[in-house]
Amino acid sequence: MSAPAAGRYVGQSVHRKEDPRLLTGHGRYIDDVVLPRLLHAAFVRSDLPSAVIRSIDTRAALELEGVVAVLTGADLNPGAGTLQPSMMAENPDAIVPPLKPLADGDVRFVGDPVAVVIAESRAIAEDAVELVDVDYEPREAVASMEAAIADGAPVVHPELGSNVAMDIALPENPELEAAFASAAHVVTERLVQHRHTPVPMETRGIVASYDRVTDQLEVWLSTQGPHEARRAFSRVAGIPERHVHVRMGDVGGGFGQKFFTPREEQTIVCVAKHLGASVKWIEDRRENLLASNHARSDIATVSVALDAEGHILGMKFDHLEEAGAWPVGGTGGTGPFAAMLLPGPYKVPKVWWRSRVVWTNTCGRGAYRGPWMFESVAREEIMDFAARASGIDPLELRRRNVVADDAQPFTTATGMTFDRVTPATTLEQAARVLGYDDFRAQQASARAEGRLLGLGIGLYIEPTSTPAATLGVEAATVRVESGGGVTVFLGTAAHGQSIETTMAQVVAEHLGVDYDDVKVVQGDTDRTPFGGGTGGSRTAVIAGNATREAALKVRDMVVEVAAHMLEAAPEDLEVAEGRIAVRGTPVRNVSLADVAAAVHNAGTGLPSDTPRLLEATGRYETPSPTWSNACHICTVEVHPVTGQVEILRYVVSEDCGRMLNPMVVEGQVHGGVVQGIGGVLYEHFVYDESGNPLTTTFLDYLLPTAAESPRIEIDHVVTDGPNPSGVKGMGEGGAIGSVPAVFNAVADALAQVGATVTEQPLTPVRLVEALEAVGA
Amino acid sequence: MAEHHVHCVVNGAKQRGIVESRTTLADFLREGLGLTGTHLACEHGVCGACTVLVDGKAVRACLMLAVQADGHEVTTVEGIASPDGTLSPVQQAFVDCHGLQCGFCTPGFVVSVTSFLEANPDPTEAEIREGISGNLCRCTGYQGIVEAVKLAAARMRDGAGVGQ
């Protein structure tokens, strides 16, 4: 599969437009926004996991000089609209807990916002938070899924009556049962992925300014989706959508945490309306770790049946996922989607699954880079258990079951139809780059010296740009300005993905102008077309194809005008680097600025039906998810005494179709992989049995640094995506494949001495215990 | 709340301000002087996003009080490029190696790396990874940053000069 030729701009690793301002301290993030008479907010948060609020005494706080207001649920909750995102707000069947701006008579996790102090400075607001006296009557809490589903467990949401938010199962399948009964090998494990959290380097934040006379709300927001935020603010505050203006500047990462519009941001909008004032809230790191939506926390009993040659006969997946108390968006659950993706790149004739979502008195679940990715954890980990049980090498077992590149479209037993994916090719490419057989020999000789080396594979197919409601469509407007420069208006919301760069490349390529002459405008609801925001690996596919179409339309308009100016037929003209010339007679040419001048000035002799505005909107609606795929292979050494894990090599072979900018693609892979490594080895948000959080600083919640991170080797397979640009989404993939790859590598190292792990994180303590359990 | 006068030199210019005892250097730079390039990402001294140079040494501006800067010289990320806007070798290497994505941790890395390369102009990869391990990045997996440090070091050894 040879790579298609790159264009003049598309496919090139051009320098990023974002970099100079960000490198010199001239970015503009949310805390850099200052308004006249700006007030500052700080939240009073529950320090109990479950309790009834007897009373809230705000008198002492109100007496502090500089405090403007102390507001509670009694002030803000009555009249507040739904806080759910549009997908839930517009779905009458959505399962949603009774979320309000502030606690409504009780608290349901440590961090639940009870009151908000508004003061002249953040420091004074924080001082006043200490003076608010909340009298609680503690209740018993449930802090884990097992505790929540036990008989007689306290109920997190009394209004809903049960801690099981959702319970969906396929009917029992007699053919699957028969396949399991006749299988040569049946492997069943209880696999656990622990709770962690996205941790963008910039915490959340908002500046909201409300004018009572005009009923106008101006918002600056750290977000992944300003248009969705505008809808949310309109609903919660009862302000017409057209009177809500949301804009974003630079955003310091999101990873899903800023995709929907969280509770505190909506509460601050209610505060601004209540006071008729301008209010800023900048989340601090403790709040971010404590109360910004968490992620993962899944348990599944996974079974696979193999015939004697190692062919998969069927899989079972009994999945529990933790919603916490107030997940962002309904239950926050992704179980059925994970279950449908479970077969992944393998031929699995039959699948049974059950998916339950469980409420607990903990921080709510939300999106994090590949929210459904537990399917890859469950599948790839059980594949390695199956390899050990059957005595078939894990690479060989995958070879025997992987869907061939030329056997597509391929429809899984769960009804997913894949096309133009290359799991078999990436599996072989990654194994070749790593030097699979050489490593196995090295592993054996190291073992003879008492050392524990291991290798893990993570093979997956990733749904990108999935068409769910507003996420399946995007529009882009391209305009040639009066001086010949080009501006692109997008509904996207970059927070590290280099969209100013890649979309400018697309415009430069298809309109025929210089990359330096293109500017991208996004993140402003009054200036840009409606868009679903940046997340779900959707921007390159959906916004990218809309941008391409808009650029081509504007090119046609430019050519039409230039044809009159040059007295040539439009089909004889070519556009390159901002000049329109007669093909074969390059001296006959006009510039884009000349064309713009002809369009915008009277008396230029253009026929009356010629465009007088060089602007067009393109759109793209994706009919189905765009599938991309990759194989990750990781090798590790586990220290047998300390349990420390060192990553030796890390190889990725990936197919995201045509790359708009290979440098950007590889950067996304690097970052995703290290997030996955962090998740397996270091990051763990811990609650004690009573529901008290134990990891609310970076001293306790450990992130990978450069010293722990490996050099990542990336190779590409390029198969055109099913859209005019030939692209596929890829932003989440790095964080998907890396988790099973690292887990399997450590498990492989341990298996040499008979030790077993089934739960993440793979901390030194857990590994030492696993080794000691088998006397190693 | 007691207030104090602070006089210091920031990015080569004399500055003064009145601060509370508890005001951090980071808050003074951001709110008092409007130098918002210094970012706060943890405010407890772990992430390194707020790193600035005080008398040429890298410090975390969230762990230092503004009053402690009285009489000292501070360089923030805004003072690293040339006055005409030309990027420093470290900054240019970050562009060339895709050493940043969202950019929020970037000012801290630029300042830390500038200081690190002054102390160790010819580091190995392991020394680079150790040297920047006091700064957290959530986007890049550090690969582009490590490459940028290598490239900046090589260019500076070839005579491009450090920073300013």
CATH number at residue A39: 3.90.1170.50
The CATH number covering residue A565 comes to 3.30.365.10
- Complete DSSP assignment for A165-232: EEEEEPPP-HHHHHHHHH-SEEEEEEEEEEEE----SS--EEEEEEETTTTEEEEEE--S-HHHHHHH
For chain A positions 731-750, those within 8 Å of chain B (CB to CB) are 734
The residues, any chain, with a CB within 8 Å of residue A566's CB and separated by 6 or more, are A573, A580, A582, A588, A589, A590
Q: What is the CATH number of domain B89-160?
A: 1.10.150.120
Which chain B residues are within 8 Å of A201, Cβ to Cβ?
39, 41, 47, 49, 102, 104-105, 136-139
Tell if the CB–CB gap between B138 and A285 is shorter than 8 Å.
no
Instruction: Please check the confidence at residue A577 and state whether its pLDDT lies above 80.
Output: yes
Please give the DSSP secondary-structure letter assigned to residue B68. G
From A267, A291, A315, the end of a domain falls on A291
Task: Specify if A68 maps to a domain.
Answer: yes
Please give the DSSP secondary-structure letter assigned to residue A698. T
Q: For residues B20 and B33, what is the distance between their CA atoms, to the nearest angstrom?
A: 15
The answer to whether A641 contacts chain B (CB < 8 Å) is: no
Q: For residues A555 and B161, what is the distance between their CA atoms, to the nearest angstrom?
A: 45
Please give the DSSP secondary-structure letter assigned to residue A64. S
Exposure string of A116-151, with b = 16+ CB inside 10 Å and e = fewer, is bbbbebbbbbebbbebbebebeebebbbbbebbbee
The residues, any chain, with a CB within 8 Å of residue A169's CB and separated by 6 or more, are A352, A353, A354, A355
Give yes or no: residues A227 and A84 share one domain.
yes
DSSP-based three-state secondary structure for B81: coil
Tell if the CB–CB gap between B98 and A16 is shorter than 8 Å.
yes
In this prediction, residues A313-324 reach a mean pLDDT of 98
For chain A positions 249-278, those within 8 Å of chain B (CB to CB) are 250-253, 255
Tell if the CB–CB gap between B78 and A706 is shorter than 8 Å.
no
Tokens of A172: 């029992």
pLDDT band at A248 (very low <50, low <70, confident <90, very high): very high
State how far residue B28 is from chain A, nearest Cα, in angstroms.
13
The residues, any chain, with a CB within 8 Å of residue A474's CB and separated by 6 or more, are A490, A491, A492, A529, A531, A532, A538, A539, A542, A543, A546, A619, A620
On average, the pLDDT of chain A sits at 97
- Per residue in B74-90, pLDDT tens? 999 999 999 999 999 99
Instruction: Please check the confidence at residue A4 and state whether its pLDDT lies above 70.
Output: no
Q: Give the residue extent of every domain in chain B.
A: 3-79, 89-160
Q: For residues B127 and A670, what is the distance between their CA atoms, to the nearest angstrom?
A: 20
Tell if the CB–CB gap between B103 and A23 is shorter than 8 Å.
yes
Residues A740 and A380 sit within 8 Å (Cβ to Cβ): yes
pLDDT, position A94: 85
CA nearest to A253 within chain B: B102
Give yes or no: residues A221 and A312 share one domain.
no
Give yes or no: residues A437 and A541 share one domain.
no
pLDDT band at A469 (very low <50, low <70, confident <90, very high): confident
Tell if the CB–CB gap between B41 and A203 is shorter than 8 Å.
yes
Closest partner CB to B143 (pick from A251, A252, A670):
A670
Best probe of the B interface among A15, A34, A201, A248, by most B CBs < 10 A, is A201
The answer to whether A646 contacts chain B (CB < 8 Å) is: no
The number of domains in chain A is 3
Tell if the CB–CB gap between A25 and B146 is shorter than 8 Å.
no
Q: How many CB pairs under 8 A join A and B?
A: 175
The answer to whether A201 contacts chain B (CB < 8 Å) is: yes
pLDDT, position B159: 81
Task: Specify if A192 maps to a domain.
Answer: no
Domain, as residue range, for A603 = 19-26+468-621
Closest partner CB to B103 (pick from A250, A671, A709):
A250
Give yes or no: residues A93 and A242 share one domain.
yes
Instruction: Please check the confidence at residue A187 and state whether its pLDDT lies above 60.
Output: yes
Alpha helices in A46-161 (DSSP H): 59-63, 73-76, 86-89, 122-129, 145-149
Give yes or no: residues A461 and A472 share one domain.
no
Please give the DSSP secondary-structure letter assigned to residue B66. G
DSSP-based three-state secondary structure for A758: coil
State how far residue B145 is from chain A, nearest Cα, in angstroms.
9
Is the domain spanning B3-79 CATH 3.30.300.30? The answer is no
CA nearest to B126 within chain A: A707
Q: Which amino acid is residue A743, in one-letter code?
A: F
Tell if the CB–CB gap between A18 and B39 is shorter than 8 Å.
no
Task: Specify if A423 maps to a domain.
Answer: yes
pLDDT band at A629 (very low <50, low <70, confident <90, very high): very high
Residues A123 and A67 sit within 8 Å (Cβ to Cβ): no
Q: For residues A210 and A236, what is the distance between their CA atoms, to the nearest angstrom?
A: 14
Alpha helices in A320-367 (DSSP H): 335-341
Please give the DSSP secondary-structure letter assigned to residue A365. B
The residues, any chain, with a CB within 8 Å of residue A123's CB and separated by 6 or more, are B20, B22
In this prediction, residues A640-665 reach a mean pLDDT of 98
- The CA-atom distances, in angstroms, between B109 and each of A41, A708, B34, B38, B59 are 30, 17, 20, 11, 12
pLDDT band at B160 (very low <50, low <70, confident <90, very high): low
pLDDT, position B161: 52
Give yes or no: residues A409 and A445 share one domain.
yes
Closest partner CB to B138 (pick from A23, A201, A663):
A201
Q: Among A739, A686, A709, which residue's Cα sits nearest to residue A294?
A: A686
Sign of the four-CA dihedral A273, A330, A338, A690: positive
Instruction: Please check the confidence at residue B163 and state whether its pLDDT lies above 60.
Output: no
The residues, any chain, with a CB within 8 Å of residue A171's CB and separated by 6 or more, are none
Give yes or no: residues A443 and A533 share one domain.
no
The answer to whether A24 contacts chain B (CB < 8 Å) is: yes
Give yes or no: residues A106 and A78 share one domain.
yes
pLDDT band at A332 (very low <50, low <70, confident <90, very high): confident
Tokens of A719: 């198969």
pLDDT band at A3 (very low <50, low <70, confident <90, very high): very low
Give yes or no: residues A428 and A356 share one domain.
yes
Q: For residues A686 and A454, what is the distance between their CA atoms, to the nearest angstrom?
A: 28
Task: Specify if A2 maps to a domain.
Answer: no
pLDDT band at A92 (very low <50, low <70, confident <90, very high): confident
In this prediction, residues A665-683 reach a mean pLDDT of 98
- Per residue in A294-305, pLDDT tens? 999 999 999 999
The residues, any chain, with a CB within 8 Å of residue B157's CB and separated by 6 or more, are B121, B122
In this prediction, residues A401-407 reach a mean pLDDT of 96
Instruction: Please check the confidence at residue A568 and state whether its pLDDT lies above 70.
Output: yes
Task: Specify if A631 maps to a domain.
Answer: yes
Give yes or no: residues A429 and A542 share one domain.
no
pLDDT, position B164: 40
The residues, any chain, with a CB within 8 Å of residue A350's CB and separated by 6 or more, are A173, A175, A176, A179, A313, A314, A315, A413
Tell if the CB–CB gap between B104 and A674 is shorter than 8 Å.
no
A370: left (phi over 0), alpha (psi -120 to 50) or beta: left
Neighbours of B16 (CB within 10 A): 11
DSSP-based three-state secondary structure for A430: helix
From A266, A291, A316, the end of a domain falls on A291
Q: For residues A223 and A203, what is the distance between their CA atoms, to the nearest angstrom?
A: 10
Best probe of the A interface among B60, B135, B138, by most A CBs < 10 A, is B138
A359 phi and psi angles, rounded to 5 deg: -80, 140
Which chain A residues are within 8 Å of B102, Cβ to Cβ?
200-202, 250-253, 495-496
A768 phi and psi angles, rounded to 5 deg: -65, -40
Q: Which amino acid is residue A761, in one-letter code?
A: P
Q: For residues B114 and B111, what is the distance between their CA atoms, to the nearest angstrom?
A: 5
Give yes or no: residues A440 and A543 share one domain.
no
pLDDT, position A91: 87
- Per residue in A514-524, pLDDT tens? 999 999 999 99
The answer to whether A652 contacts chain B (CB < 8 Å) is: no
pLDDT band at A2 (very low <50, low <70, confident <90, very high): very low
Q: Among A468, A513, A473, A515, which residue's Cα sits nearest to residue A491?
A: A473
Rounded (5°) CA angle A463-A464-A467: 95
Give yes or no: residues A538 and A642 share one domain.
no
DSSP-based three-state secondary structure for A82: coil
Q: For residues A141 and A161, what is the distance between their CA atoms, to the nearest angstrom?
A: 15
From A604, A621, A638, the end of a domain falls on A621
Tell if the CB–CB gap between B136 and A255 is shorter than 8 Å.
no
Q: For residues B47 and B59, what is the distance between their CA atoms, to the nearest angstrom?
A: 12
Residues A172 and A270 sit within 8 Å (Cβ to Cβ): no
